[in-house]
Amino acid sequence: MSDMDTGTMDVIASSDPIALFESWFAQAQASEPNDPNAMALATATPQGAPSVRMVLLKGHDRHGFVFYTNAHSRKGAEIRANMQAALLFHWKSLRRQIRIEGPLTEVSAAEADAYFHSRPFVSQVGSAASDQSRPLDDRQTYLDRVEAIAQACRAAGEVPRPPHWTGFRLNPHAIEFWLDRPGRLHERRQFTKGSATGEWTSTLLYP
């Protein structure tokens, strides 16, 4: 074996991308120092102008990957206008990445309610008080609004979910796994879902 022969690890040899994601995600939960569920979310306007930000994965299964947001925010407006998105997980401790692409659907009101009220009280208040992505004249304005809502809702112990605070589920049509290799001879495997069959096929990609 030459010095440049890096071999092929079984960790990326799988026919099931969802099972492979779950395996990598479990390892990230054990190794990442902060927020192993952090992911970059890329959206775009109908004219194709992109934007990206970090959000947190709050649920996943074979139906998709779920995150929550204020639908009046920039990302919410872009999602509502163009229900397509891409996700990127980067786990530095594992030297791995996963890219996921596909269409979005909004979660049910019951799902949004359940997750919103599972959050800490202060997080519920902060979301209800925020006109996310809109100009703010002074931080104290926001803090005063937070305190007013907290006082009004403290007795109830929870905050009514604002109707514009919701979640979206990305239904994956393409998933790519990236594995760091010595000498930048990285390993990439891309899975694509057949539109007619719903079956996954995969291929290696040049790094």
103-129 confidence digits (pLDDT tens): 999 999 999 999 999 999 999 999 999
Average of per-residue pLDDT across 9-21: 78
Task: Give the separation between CA 97 and CA 24, rounded to whole angstroms.
Answer: 9
The reply to whether 64 falls in a domain is yes
Average of per-residue pLDDT across 152-162: 90
Average of per-residue pLDDT across 142-154: 93
Which amino acid type is present at position 29?
Q
Q: Taking all residues of the chain, what is their mean pLDDT, rounded to a whole number?
A: 92
Question: pLDDT-based confidence at 158, cuts 50/70/90?
Answer: confident
**101 and 68 within one domain:** yes
> What percent of the chain stands above pLDDT 90?
87
Task: Give the separation between CA 182 and CA 59, rounded to whole angstroms.
Answer: 33
**36 and 96 within one domain:** yes
Task: Give the separation between CA 65 and CA 47, rounded to whole angstroms.
Answer: 25
pLDDT exceeds 70 at position 150 = yes
**134 and 41 within one domain:** no
**36 and 86 within one domain:** yes
Q: Quote the pTM value.
A: 0.89
Which residue, 67, 88, 91, 97, is CA-closest to 79? Answer: 67
pLDDT of residue 202: 95
Which residue, 177, 169, 188, is CA-closest to 62? Answer: 169
Which amino acid type is present at position 7?
G
**Domain housing 45:** 10-117+166-205
Tell me whether strands 84-91 and 96-106 are parallel, antiparallel or unpaired.
antiparallel
**93 and 55 within one domain:** yes
Task: Give the separation between CA 10 and CA 26, rounded to whole angstroms.
Answer: 16
Question: pLDDT-based confidence at 166, cuts 50/70/90?
Answer: very high
pLDDT of residue 11: 54
Task: Give the separation between CA 107 and CA 88, rounded to whole angstroms.
Answer: 21
pLDDT of residue 13: 67
Task: Give the separation between CA 126 and CA 132, rounded to whole angstroms.
Answer: 10
**70 and 15 within one domain:** yes
- What is the number of domains present in the chain? 2
Task: Give the separation between CA 133 and CA 151, rounded to whole angstroms.
Answer: 24
